[in-house]
Chain A
Amino acid sequence: MKRAAAAVAALTAALTLTACGGDEDGAIHVFAAASLTEAFTEIGEDFERANPDASVVFSFAGSSTLAAQIGEGAPADVFASADAATMDTVVGDGHASEAETFARNRLVIAVPEGNPDGIAGLGDLAGPGLRVAVCAHAVPCGAASQTALEAAGVELTPATYETDVKATLAKLTLGEVDAALVYRSDVQADRDGVDAVAFAEADAAVNDYRVAVLTEAANPDAAEAFVAHLGSEAALETLTAEGFRTP
């Protein structure tokens, strides 16, 4: 009985400890918006090549989710958000002192390859029988979509308000919708089977991607180095290739 209890305790400890391993290893923990997945993964590898001592660990999720986690004390060194508003709340709560814009993203209309419905602009989305997926208002891409639609004066009833931009695009790649309002960078990343239709009103809703070193960073120097690296020639090139605009 005692031996069994000890074994259970040891096993539990082993499993839990390995799960949170790497806390003290000097890695840079970067919390980044989901839309940065492809670009940051590549930039991170590049950074590690340039700095053999450093290692970067990413956690990709919706900007608001990450902000909430930071608010609850998650161990992060760097935060990169997909919009200014989310970063403002993090700065406002004192988790970061200053943030800088390192990339911009524009909305596009994602359509199946070859654009079978011949969509040319936002106005076409309200057409009868057309199924459209957009992001929910609560997340940055949804807020941007709403701004753009209002600028275009288009009344759109989408089939669904998805919780993040990746899910929105997934509905298109799965063939369940005819069009989706997503970021240019997402279409770039999801190269197969999807075309992007640019539209003028996207200018009204450009997203500023901001990055900041967090005040609670365990590794502030390395974090600063990573943020500085985002301005490097190689990083800018990667961001552009993934469909972002650089400031």
Chain B
Amino acid sequence: MSAASEGLDSHLVVDRGAFRLDLELRAAAGETVALLGPNGAGKTTALRALAGLEALSEGHIALDGRDLDRPGSRRWTAPEHRGIGVVFQDYLLFPHLNALDNVAFGPRRRGLGRSAARARAAAQLDRVGLGELAKRRTRQLSGGQAQRVALARALALDPGLLLLDEPLAALDARTRLDTRAELHRHLSDHPGAAVLVTHDPVDALMLADRLIVVEEGRAVQEGDAESITARPRTDYVARLVGLNLYRGRAEGHRLRLDSGGELAVADPLDGEAFAAFRPSAVALHPRRPEGSPRNAWPATVTGVHRHGDNLRVQLDGRLHAVADVTPAAAAQLGLGPGQRVWAAVKAAEIRAYPA
């Protein structure tokens, strides 16, 4: 029973007329949950509600068994009394304070004396590897350094819940890699719960123990990295993880697609189902392929662009799909927009799972 009350237990409902967020969100102590979703899905609203910067319309927020917001019984805890650490999207380091005093800000408010708060802040900065930049003004910090100061500031209060809003979005690709690895280490060390908001699937997959995909204010898929990448349930997730995804009705080895047409699948199943395959599983032929592939359809190339070492080809036709082909294969086919080709996928390459 005590295990149930550790960490975050919330049902976030924020009603803004045109937009409604309705999301159940739990995170055990020591666990990191990522909210993944497109812009405007309500991720940041969820974070603001947790931090107390926005009030719930319905539902509840409880942290370690303590109610922070429960409109039903008129309970509300102001942000300054929640003990929740927040790393904001563009960090929001106070421009009038140096790095050390930014981190010492929280401990000072907790009643620590100036020197005690600074000592604690210095230790926290050391932990993120910025001990020697303590006296820097925030505008003299690089993006990666500012991110780490913001993290140190949020962690300085040993929060029961740590919230991170797009913590890596403002960084360039190179810094992002290092910072992500380091952030992962700090999240692993953090004894409390953590909720991370991001629209970048790589951040979510690398940093979180569990993912919740949010679209239009609702959770559309939830699970660990593996299950989500293997079995996407919405076009958004499929695009994120780079899979072709179709929905339809399965009868044994045949899946009738909602969009028309059908696919032959290797694993038999019945009822509403998804089918997914990798772009590299799609083979392109100049004319109808002979022999084995049971899934073959005529398609028109609508776009070609580089994707890693290969070329990614956008296909229009009975099935919308993307295909990855080698530059050599593309040259052989003479691929270009408007080109008519045949696309084929082996049944064994298609993963089908119940909806």
Q: Do chains A and B touch in the complex (CB under 8 A)?
A: no
